[in-house]
């Protein structure tokens, strides 16, 4: 859990981690030099729960820097981002571990989510065995493409991707090239149950991203996606096909026309 200035809501999310039914859960919390009482809340939680380890960063690293600091500490077979404002249902970890154990070709498993009184799902890549097609669908950002970022992934994904990366636009939509890279490493499995509650807050990261979008930042995301494709070391023809697909999508965005 990367935490920062979350005193008003983090306890609810921490409680949802404490009630997970999966027996081998290790909770890592990294407070990113918060200026409110988040640090004290997390420290008290860690003192009460033997499966929790707490760290406080001396300087603010930003969300991606904090995530990568946690990656260096993580030792499990499966990992997930516990977003500090998104509570989880008790069977979240149990159901996703089971999904990955029954799907050896999968790199990531994710669930449906609650947003207010709605249940959102992402079906576009679930069960797609062809990696080019998985990547193509993520490139085009159809549906709620960001939902898998609230899933469970194999630890080897961190080694193979090098972790999360900032790009020329900073952290804006940095989860898109991350998910694109993962889609080229293995299948995505959908658990059709709403086991995550996504909370949009006025000053939350997701809300700020939407307000701060620009052509420059969108271009930076596309370049980061191109880098993710390149770093996967695909066969030459497959890489060229994907880079062309990415370019078609980008040109479609610039001209306002769909290039799918």
**Model pLDDT, residue 201:** 75
Q: CA 31, CA 44: separation in Å to the nearest integer?
A: 13
- Signed CA dihedral, 29, 145, 177, 130: sign only: positive
**Structure-token match 């990696």, residue found:** 131
**Model pLDDT, residue 255:** 75
Please give the DSSP secondary-structure letter assigned to residue 206: H
**Model pLDDT, residue 200:** 85
Q: Which domains does the chain have, with CATH numbers?
A: 2-255 (3.90.550.10)
What the block records as the tokens of 200 is 């949009």
**Model pLDDT, residue 257:** 57
**Model pLDDT, residue 153:** 98
**Residue 22: what are its φ and ψ, rounded to 5°?**
-70, 125
Beta bridge partners of 31: 3, 56
Q: For each successive 10 residues of the chain (260 residues), what is the average pLDDT? A: 96 98 98 97 98 97 97 96 97 98 98 96 96 96 94 97 94 95 98 95 56 80 96 96 95 67
């Amino acid at each position: 859990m990367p935490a920062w200035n979350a005193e008003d809501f983090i306890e609810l999310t921490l409680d949802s981690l404490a009630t997970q039914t999966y027996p081998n859960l290790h909770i890592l919390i990294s407070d990113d030099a918060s200026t409110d009482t988040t640090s004290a809340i997390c420290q008290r939680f860690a003192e009460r729960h033997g499966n929790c380890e707490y760290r406080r960063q001396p300087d603010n690293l930003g969300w991606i820097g904090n995530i990568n600091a946690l990656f260096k500490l993580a030792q499990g077979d499966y990992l997930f981002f516990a977003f500090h404002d998104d509570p989880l249902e008790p069977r979240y970890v149990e159901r996703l571990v089971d999904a990955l154990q029954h799907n050896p070709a999968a790199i990531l498993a994710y669930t449906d989510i609650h947003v207010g009184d709605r249940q959102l799902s992402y079906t576009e890549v679930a069960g797609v065995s062809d990696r080019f097609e998985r990547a193509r669908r993520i490139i085009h950002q159809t549906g709620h493409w960001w939902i898998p970022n609230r899933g469970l992934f194999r630890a080897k994904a961190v080694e193979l991707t090098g972790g999360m990366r900032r790009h020329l636009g900073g952290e804006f939509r940095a989860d898109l090239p991350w998910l694109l890279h993962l889609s080229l490493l293995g299948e995505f499995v959908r658990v059709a149950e709403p086991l995550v509650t996504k909370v949009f807050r006025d000053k939350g990261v997701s809300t700020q991203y939407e307000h701060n979008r620009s052509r420059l930042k969108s271009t930076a995301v596309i370049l980061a996606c191109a880098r993710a494709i390149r770093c996967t070391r695909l066969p030459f023809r497959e890489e060229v096909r994907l880079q062309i697909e990415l370019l078609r999508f980008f040109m479609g965005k610039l001209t306002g026309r769909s290039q799918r």
